[in-house]
Chain A
Amino acid sequence: MEEDKTEKYIEIKRLRRAILLSLMVGFILSFIGALSIGPAEIPMATVFKILFNFQGSWPESYRIIVLEVRLPRVILSALVGSGLAVAGCAMQGLFRNPMASPYILGISSGSAFGASLAIVLGIGLGAGIFAVPFMAFVFALLTVFLVYNIAKVGERVPMETLLLAGIATGSFFWAQVSLMKYIAGEELRSIVFWLMGGFWASSWDKVIIAFPLIVLGMLVILFFSRDLNIMLMGEEHALSLGTDVENVKKIVLVFASLITAAAVSVSGIIGFVGLIIPHTMRIVVGPDHRILLPSSCLVGAIFLIWMDTLARTAIQPTELPVGIITASLGAPFFLYLLRKRRRTTGW
């Protein structure tokens, strides 16, 4: 009887490793699979060979399609998907609220304002074609900085105040976005497209900008997995177990915001991923962030890779905004999970 429980614990550990391993395999297959799909069907084996610079007989155009057209796009969608899922997971943990998403601190509206400002004013800022992502990024961080300092009381940051400050600041910036739309004239279409989010403008430059920020952010948050677990029980419990609550809050907030700002600036506002992926994974693997964060990361990447593949291939030759697809397909799946689990309490 008594040994059972311990063995169960070890068994769960083993099971976790198996889940992560299979998600990893799923990720790699999705990655290569998505590279092979498109107007030109390129076999997965060929994609693999091109990626690893093998010699072989295929049209030179394949190499360009895979390396220059599809690869940055697939990497970017994987980065944004995993980043938003991890940031959302961290926010839900910090706020102890299943409705929290990476955009909870008003990042989305802040960056939307930055982007639309750049579009309407047509400002280059010496950044040329990067004006829009640059402004989106700057305004995203500016918003978080603002919200954080409004909510701060002495050395502490009460989460309720932070939440409310985020909502209020967010709605202020949305109003400014509406203003921009109103005066945009011909640029209205660009703003609307940016707001819907997507990866059609993917490039290696964007990958180079987003990669270090998102990966660094995810690693830092992963480092605080155990603290996030303990903080789920409430701040007083966490303090009494030796967790430096205020510091963990600050660090996780900063890096979740950095991830989100980077993601939004390269792909616009893609909703749903940051809210639903962590939520879904919590139902599947449980609330322990040590497994929840890495599995959300991998599933977020897999999910957005496929959603974007669908977005660019569903109605060729044009494409759908990926945000429309993520919500249309993801929401029903999530509702199915919600109904299926036989739990009365918890998330």
Chain B
Amino acid sequence: MKLKIRGVEFSYGSRKVLENITFEVSEGEILGILGPNGSGKTTLLRCINRVLEAKKGSILIDGTDIRKLSRKEIAKNIGVVPQDSAIHFPFTVFDIVLMGRTPHLGRLEQEGSEDIETAKKAMEITNTKHLADRLIDEISGGEKQRVIIARALAQEPKILLLDEPTLHLDINHQLEILELLRKLAIKNRLTIVLVSHDLNLASRYCHRMILLKTGKIHSAGKPQDVLTKDNIRDVFKIDVKIDYNEKAGILNIIPLSPTVESTS
């Protein structure tokens, strides 16, 4: 499913947070949204699934303006993994994943065997099946993140939005999550939008990325074209050293501390 963002603007009161944001994401593609704190990354993600209402511009999924869709219909198309997943209630992992079926169920309808199958499949993909009867507040951060992804997958969405899904995870679990996303994009043909703070990992797993600076798109394109020395200095206000392994297509961005710079 194709996601098109056209001229989106958003403001909190009189403070403009997003200005003239335009980009597209295709089926099977992972798009990274990068930028410093406060550049509008999370706000943009929230506008895409209408948690926040864009003041201007439109968001189209396969040509349909999401403003024409009910919240339930949006939830059938867009799955979300929000940044904050603090769940302090003793729900089991299976309960949580089954909640992903909500947009497909009537208000008083019980989950049927099909819903249970879908939930199980989502847990298989995310490798969380063995956790099914554990309590959500008793599993590790990496496991919890995978469970929330499983819940999003149980919605059977075509588009997946993730807000820093690797935050607070160790490097092993970061890679695990990103490998999973790659698999979902390539094998399951999902359209994926990912907010990230990790330039290196994002450059490895995103097909394309946009770099936000104070609510505007500073640059967009392939990782190696977006994450250049100049762009990074311009947006993040730091100097970096970049090793680009063309064969492997891997960028290695090494931040230089201001003191290092001043002594050189």
Spell out A's residues near B (CB within 8 Å): 2, 5-6, 8-9, 13, 96, 223-224, 226-227, 229-230, 232-234, 236-237, 239-244, 286-288, 343, 345-347
Contacts and interface: CB of A to CB of B under 8 A. Distances in A.
Interface residues of B, number: 44
A241 B100 contact: yes
Nearest to B117: A6
B120 A6 contact: yes
Contact of A9 (B70, B94, B103, B129): B94
Nearest to B137: A345
A240 B79 contact: yes
Nearest to A229: B99
Contact of B132 (A5, A13, A224): A5
Given A6-B116, A9-B116, A230-B99, A241 B155 contact: yes
B90 interface: yes
B136 to A, nearest CB: 9
A239 B51 contact: yes
Interface string B33-58: 00000000000001001110000000
B82 A346 contact: no
B76 A237 contact: no
A223 B107 CA distance: 7
B78 interface: yes
B102 A243 contact: yes
Contact of A288 (B51, B70, B91, B133): B91
A234 B50 CA distance: 16
3 smallest A-B Cβ distances: which pairs? A242-B75, A240-B80, A242-B103
B72 interface: yes
Given A241-B99, A242-B72, A233 B116 contact: no
Contacts of B116: 6, 9
B87 interface: yes
A10 to B, nearest CB: 9
A287 B137 contact: no
Interface string B89-107: 1110011100110110101
B84 interface: yes
Contact of B120 (A2, A96, A227): A2
Contacts of B152: 240
B168 interface: no
A107 to B, nearest CB: 25
Given A227-B107, A286-B90, 7 more contacts: A5-B132, A5-B133, A6-B116, A8-B132, A232-B91, A240-B82, A242-B72
Given A226-B102, A239-B51, A5 B79 contact: no
Given A5-B133, A288-B95, A242 B89 contact: no
